[in-house]
Structure 1
Amino acid sequence: MDIIKESMQLPVDNFLGMLIYAVIYMLTAGVVASLALRFIPNKIPYGVKSVIVFLVILISIFLWWQTIIKPTI
């Protein structure tokens, strides 16, 4: 547990910390998008809903890059 706490301190300069933050960002984005899609009418095709979830996850990866990776470069 100490290794995880140390790896998540900002600025992140190790692979484990970057991986943990990426998973957290993607899971959060996926849960938010899935909850939002629950309220979108069923008239929208499943493929369009999947594209919306994909775009939200891409945005979360971009935010992860800007907040976690970019400051350490």
Structure 2
Amino acid sequence: MDLIQQSMATPVDNFLGMLIYAVIYMFIAGLVMGLALKFIPNRLPYAVKSLIVFIAIIISLIIWWQTIAEPGIKI
């Protein structure tokens, strides 16, 4: 357990920490996408539904970049 806690200390500078954070972010992004797709009404046009999903993906990528990738690059 100590190894995992040390690996997840930010900024992440090892492969195990990056892998753990990647799995966490993929799970959260999948959950957000699932919720977004569940609550988007079917009467909306396909383009609007695709735009909502695209925006959710971009937001999750920005959060990932600012919390994990960028601090790891600065090391």
Which bracket does the TM-score occupy, shorter chain normalised? 0.5 to 0.7
What does 1:1-73 align with in structure 2 at a 5 Å threshold? 1-43=1-43, 53=53, 56-57=56-57, 59-72=59-72, 73=74
Aligned length: 73
Unmatched tracts of structure 1, length 5 or more: none
Paired-residue identity, % = 67
Unmatched tracts of structure 2, length 5 or more: none
SS state at 1:10 partner: coil
SS state at 1:41 partner: coil
TM-score between the two structures when normalised by the length of structure 1: 0.67
Output the amino acid matched with 1:33.
M
TM-score between the two structures when normalised by the length of structure 2: 0.66
Q: Measured at CA, do residues 41 and 58 of structure 1 come closer, stay the same or move farther in structure 2, by a change above 3 Å?
A: same
SS state at 1:56 partner: helix
CA RMSD of aligned residues (A): 2.6
